[in-house]
Amino acid sequence: MTKLPNTPANCFNVDVSSVDPYYSQYNVTCIPVISTKTTLELGCTAKVPKSYADQISGVTAALDLSATYDISTEKCNGLRSFVNGKLLTRNSMFLPISLQGCAIPANTDDFCYKTGDFRGNQNLDLTMNQIIWVLFHNWCCDRMVEINPHWNDEKIFQECRKFNIASNQYIAYNEVFSTIVGYKAMYDRNLLYPYSSLDGRSKYDPHCELNALNEFSNGAFRVLHAIIVACLKMANENRKGMGHLRLTEHMTNPSVLERNDTFQYLLLGAFTQRPNKVGPSFDPVVTRNLRFNISPFVFGTDLHTNDIQRGRNHGIGSYTAIRTKCGFKNAETFEDLEDLISKENIEILKSLYESVHDIDYAAAAVLENVIPPAQVGPTVICIILEELERLQKCDRYWWDNDQNHFTQLQMATIRSISLASVICTVGNVEYMQIHATKPVDPIT
Ligand code: HEM
């Protein structure tokens, strides 16, 4: 296997064919991929047989806004102002500055933000998401101070954290995941339900361990890398185009957000611009030269190749194994895939794999027929729904689980929140479409 200069020891690179139409022009012979740390390397083998390695996740498996509050009390304290329950901000609009994990060109005033997750500065959309949830927490604190002037900082912080996480969970299921897999699929799986009852639901199972499925985080959910657009459009309140930014020019360097009205324009642009469709064609920037400014490598990466290799790294099942597990018929030949993948896309797989059983999940999952209103194919829906069910069932703190501590009125308030209302509240934006995840047409 080829080694690039500076390749870390824990790398398992992907060799690039010498006739690759793109990389061969630049003499790139391999795409670097760094192996995930496992329990074996860290010596955490107490609970498992010595020979068994499991990948270690640096974040929590719960949908608990750990990207906003970080994963430990100590780290979270570093993000708090300790005044009126608020998280630290600058001018009540942006996050505190940190240069950690940041790639700032020499002799500039550029900067990164201090966030609850080291990836918070990775790309501008993600950074805007970080900012929004910090500001929404602080908006809650202002309301709490008005309503409960006798509450101290700690009480306000904890109550607003709980409210913020609940709002985020509600929006994630009601608007984001339902857009990805379709509202009916969520409803049929009892992940969403009509509001005839204001009560919580007794879904919590104390015997269920809260873990992210490897097939979810290293397979199905990465299928959405296909929707990335490398040209980030900006728009004003009337959704008139205000120029664009290039994704790769601002990775690990979000300072541009504070220049002029970039934050608002980019936010409105994100809710105006249509994402790519899941399918065999990725934005070329994502599969040719996705540059991370902090990467030790001279050349950028191919995210889809990276995802396929990550699936192998984590030992997730082959495409045929996963489709069977999801209840689709056993596939013994390429033709057996025709129930979920078009003939045209099966030809692509045939040209790459000798046997149908060799097909990597990530490679085939993006080629499945998308069934509207879902944005992804059938096995991807299957894995996402399984993960969503576990996220609710295994989380003692899930917002509408009847173990939780919201009153009926508080739950009704949370159900009245939408992504649009959050954006309007903290994004310095006056007009948003009611269904934020359904882009409106831009005025050109
Ligand atoms: C500009 C947009 C994005 C960029 C540049 C990006 C890039 C990346 C990179 C570099 C990784 C780590 C790859 C590895 O080493 O294995 C990753 C992981 C991941 N990405 Fe993205 N991504 C983007 C958007 C998205 C979107 C829209 C989704 C889904 C809605 C998504 C879902 C994931 C998931 C689930 C992981 C695995 C996380 C983990 O296991 O820790 N990404 N992404």
Residue-wise pLDDT for 10-43, tens only, equals 678 898 888 988 888 888 888 888 899 888 777 7
Residue 241 pLDDT grade (very low, low, confident, very high; cuts 50, 70, 90): very high
Is the pLDDT reported for residue 1 higher than 60? no
Is the pLDDT reported for residue 58 higher than 90? no
Pick the CATH number of 65-204+229-274+395-444 from 3.40.50.300, 1.10.150.80, 3.30.930.10, 1.10.640.10: 1.10.640.10
Residue-wise pLDDT for 82-125, tens only, equals 999 999 999 999 999 998 778 787 788 899 999 999 899 999 99
CA distances from 59 to 110, 124, 127, 353 (A): 27, 20, 17, 34
Please report the pLDDT score of residue 405 as a whole number: 74
Is the pLDDT reported for residue 67 higher than 50? yes
DSSP 163-223: HHHHHHHHHIIIIIIHHHH-HHHHHHTTSS--TT--S-B----TTS-----HHHHTTGGGG
Is the pLDDT reported for residue 49 higher than 60? no
Q: Which of 130, 181, 225, 253 to mutate to test the pocket of ligand 1 (most atoms within 8 A of CB)?
A: 225
Ligand 1 midpoint to CA 225 (Å): 7
Is the pLDDT reported for residue 294 higher than 60? no
Q: Which of 181, 222, 437 to mutate to test the pocket of ligand 1 (most atoms within 8 A of CB)?
A: 222
Is the pLDDT reported for residue 288 higher than 90? no
Give the pLDDT mean for 187-209: 80
Instruction: Tell me the H-state helices in 394-441.
Output: 408-415, 419-426
pTM for this entry = 0.94
Is the pLDDT reported for residue 434 higher than 50? yes
Evaluate: CB of 217 within 6 angstroms of ligand 1.
yes
Please report the pLDDT score of residue 233 as a whole number: 96
Please report the pLDDT score of residue 194 as a whole number: 72
Give the pLDDT mean for 181-195: 89
DSSP 256-308: GGGSTTHHHHHHHHHTTSPPPPSSSPPPHHHHH-B--TT-SSSS-B-HHHHHH
Please report the pLDDT score of residue 141 as a whole number: 98
Nearest CA to ligand 1 atom 5: 123
On whether 314 is known to bind a ligand per the annotation, the reply is: no
Q: Which atom of ligand 1 is nearest to the CA of 307?
A: 16
Nearest CA to ligand 1 atom 17: 222
CB within 8 Å of 327: residues ≥ 6 apart: 382
Ligand 1 midpoint to CA 315 (Å): 18
Is the pLDDT reported for residue 429 higher than 50? yes
User: Of 304, 319, 305, nearest to 365 (Cα)?
Assistant: 319
Ligand 1 midpoint to CA 189 (Å): 26
Is the pLDDT reported for residue 5 higher than 70? no
Ligand 1 midpoint to CA 217 (Å): 9
Give the pLDDT mean for 256-273: 95
The rounded distance, in Å, linking the Cα atoms of 352 and 362 is: 13
**DSSP H or E run through 242:** strand 241-246
Evaluate: CB of 406 within 6 angstroms of ligand 1.
no
Greatest distance between any 2 Cα atoms in the chain: 70
Nearest CA to ligand 1 atom 40: 217
Residue 244 pLDDT grade (very low, low, confident, very high; cuts 50, 70, 90): very high
Residue-wise pLDDT for 309-332, tens only, equals 999 999 999 999 999 999 999 999
Record the tokens describing residue 23, joined without a space.
């990389």
- Counts for the chain of helices (H) and strands (E), in that order: 17, 6
Evaluate: CB of 221 within 6 angstroms of ligand 1.
yes
